[in-house]
Amino acid sequence: MAESTTTTRTHPTYTFVEEKDADAIGWIFVNEHEMKRLSFKFPPIKPHEIRAKVTYTGLCLTDAHIVDGRYFPCSYPICPGHEIVGIVTHIGSSVKDFTIGEKVGFGTHREFCSNCEFCKKGYDNLCCKPTEQLTTYGAKYWGGYATSIQHPAQCYFKLPEGLPEEKIAPLFCAGITCYNPVARYTQPGDEVAVLAVGGLGHMAVQYAKAKGCKVTAFTSSLSKEEFIKKLGAERVVLNTPENLKAEAKKYHLIINTLPDITELTPLPNLARPLGVFCQLGGCHSGASFNPMTLLFGNVSVVGSNTGSVQEIKEMLEFSAKHKITPICEQFDFEDMPKAFDRLVHGKPIFRCVVDMTKAGPKKS
């Protein structure tokens, strides 16, 4: 049963209520370490908003870092989740492009202004003037760890045909984060290095292969060589100092998904002249490298911060065309705490997805 919180907890946007009166149930962090199953009501839907019943939600390590305040101070209670698939249940009066009953996706960003310099250039994911809350995982508005979400229509997406619905949710974070550097910085035939083949890396290998690139995967264990080659890598290299030295100056694009880059020094050396080193893994430690590597080879160092609305649409089309999906472990809604613990303390193969299809408030 959902915990009764009508008198013990408050929130500026949502009203905590008994389950029989609720619009949604969420696994909500009431502090950094404590997740509770709570029921709540949404405010009246605004003209530009959509409410959707969540059917599948992906768990991302960013959720954990938001909750523990590693990225920025966190205000509780908070319900994270930014890899979301659902079904439209309510539509605001000014929404024209979606219909009730339609299957949709939702990702990291919940709004953008359309008028700042970045929005005008097509980088709405980098909007610098959101009116309320730029990202899905915030204190004022909540995400996909709840059985329903309510957000502006501009950041919902129509789902492509041909992909299994239970594997689509991680595409809205892991998928677009890996797709973008491949789409931006490679041409068919280019040499691409993927450092670490985990939750991000196994997607990067698939996208680079589908683009027509020659993929080399660097791994800490050659026991995964056969599996990694099935994903699309032509070569698998053990990640050792000796091998990094031997592979220097070969690659048009290096996609680094390693979260700890304290010993970054040799990694940009993999880039050929005019090559690109792209950091994907969230790094919380300092890193250093020899800037002469960049200077003599005109090497670029970049990052990938999910993607714009247009880029996500392109990623979804590309994924459907090439049948690219993440490998997921699936959990039931009641096992959300177990899934979150697996995310933080285990090693999921490779993404955690929670089946929400049967979850929701039970009306009396």
322 CB-contact burial (10 Å; exposed 0-12 / middle 13-18 / buried 19+)? middle
Architecture of the domain whose range is 15-173+307-355: Alpha-Beta Complex (3.90)
What digits encode the pLDDT tens for the residues 137-175?
898 999 999 999 999 999 999 999 999 999 999 999 999
Contacts of 131 (CB under 8 A, 6+ apart): 111, 113
Check residue 330 and give its pLDDT.
98
Within the chain, all domains assigned CATH 3.40.50.720 are found at: 175-303
- Half-sphere exposure at residue 59, Cβ-oriented, CA atoms within 13 angstroms: 32
DSSP structure class, residue 43: P
Task: Give the phi and the psi of residue 81 in degrees, each rounded to 5.
Answer: 115, 115
What pLDDT, in 10s, does the model give residues 205-254?
Answer: 999 999 999 999 999 999 999 999 999 999 999 999 899 999 999 999 99
> Which ranges of 44-149 would DSSP assign to H, the alpha helix?
61-67, 117-120
CA gap 242, 179 in Å, rounded: 29
What was the pLDDT predicted at 264?
65
Name the 3-class secondary structure at 205: helix
**CA distance linking residue 43 with residue 219, whole number of Å:** 48
CATH code linked to domain 175-303: 3.40.50.720
Q: What is the pLDDT of residue 1?
A: 39
1-22: pLDDT as tens digits: 344 444 357 899 999 999 999 9
CA 209, 126, 12: angle at the middle one, nearest 5? 120
Q: Where in the chain is the domain with CATH 3.90.180.10?
A: 15-173+307-355
What are 56-77's pLDDT values in tens digits? 999 999 999 999 988 888 999 9
pLDDT (tens digit per residue) in 243-289: 999 999 999 999 999 876 666 668 889 999 999 999 987 666 666 67
| Predicted TM-score (pTM) above 0.75 | yes
